[in-house]
């Protein structure tokens, strides 16, 4: 009997450990993305103070704020891995997406790209110019004279070369970029990409986890 009891106890212990492991996996899956309250309030999607609206309703209930740098490889990875799917959610009216420029000091081409992007936004083609800069980042980021390459890329999206060059030369976009940088500093953004959903910063382990979280959160809140 003692042998049977020992065997039974061992099996129960193993089952308990296994169950605990499964619970742990479930907890880790749920916490693959953590929400941290933002240090300051974020403007609604329709605000013109800072950021480029990439999609979604002007008066969206939920807003995804993305702080990035066009020359940043991780920012490009986010765009390639989750950008299209996030745009689908925006097209369905579940959220708005606002892109903020927080160029890193080591990337001297980043602010130039941000100016071109804002010039596109001021001309009413912000999303198209944003996409063009992301798609061609591997080309202009390796050039000693990136502006002509940036202009060539965005001209294909509906802007004239003269209008882009004139806008950049005029400094019209500088105030918007400075507003983005002030907001990033107030939020404590020190690395990009940094992603905020409504009033919380999202800390995520993978692009897939981020996408799942945003999809679930906007769906749940939308139907409350």
Average pLDDT per run of 10 along the chain, which is 224 residues long? 39 40 40 88 71 90 94 92 94 94 81 90 90 93 90 83 86 86 91 94 94 90 44
- The pLDDT assigned to 31 comes to 54
- The pLDDT assigned to 26 comes to 40
Contacts 24+ apart (CB under 8 A), 140-145: 140/109, 140/113, 141/70, 141/71, 141/107, 141/109
Q: Which domain holds residue 172?
A: 34-222
- 3-class state of residue 136 by DSSP: coil
One domain, residues 142 and 41: yes
Whether this model's pTM surpasses 0.85: no
Q: Retrieve residue 41's tokens.
A: 């309030």
One domain, residues 8 and 110: no
- The pLDDT assigned to 162 comes to 87
- The pLDDT assigned to 103 comes to 74
One domain, residues 21 and 108: no
């Amino acid at each position: 009997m003692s042998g049977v009891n020992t065997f039974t106890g061992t099996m129960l212990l193993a089952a308990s450990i296994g169950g605990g492991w499964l619970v742990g996996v479930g907890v880790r899956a749920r916490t693959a993305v953590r929400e941290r309250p933002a240090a300051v309030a974020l403007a609604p999607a329709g605000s013109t103070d800072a950021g480029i609206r990439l999609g979604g309703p002007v008066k969206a209930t939920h807003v995804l704020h993305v702080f990035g740098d066009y020359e940043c490889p991780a920012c490009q990875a986010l765009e390639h891995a989750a950008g299209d799917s996030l745009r689908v959610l925006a097209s369905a009216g579940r959220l708005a997406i606002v892109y903020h420029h927080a160029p890193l000091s080591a990337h001297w081409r980043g602010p130039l790209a941000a100016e071109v992007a804002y010039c596109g936004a001021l001309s009413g083609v912000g999303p198209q110019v944003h996409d063009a800069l992301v798609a061609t980042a591997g080309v202009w980021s390796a050039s000693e004279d990136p502006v002509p390459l940036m202009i060539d890329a965005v001209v294909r999206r509906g802007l004239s070369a003269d209008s882009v060059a004139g806008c950049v030369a005029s400094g019209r976009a500088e105030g918007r970029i400075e507003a983005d940088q002030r907001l990033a500093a107030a939020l404590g953004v020190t690395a990009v990409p940094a992603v905020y959903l409504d009033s919380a910063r999202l800390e995520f382990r993978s692009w897939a986890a981020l996408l799942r979280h945003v999809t679930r959160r906007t769906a749940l809140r939308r139907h409350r």
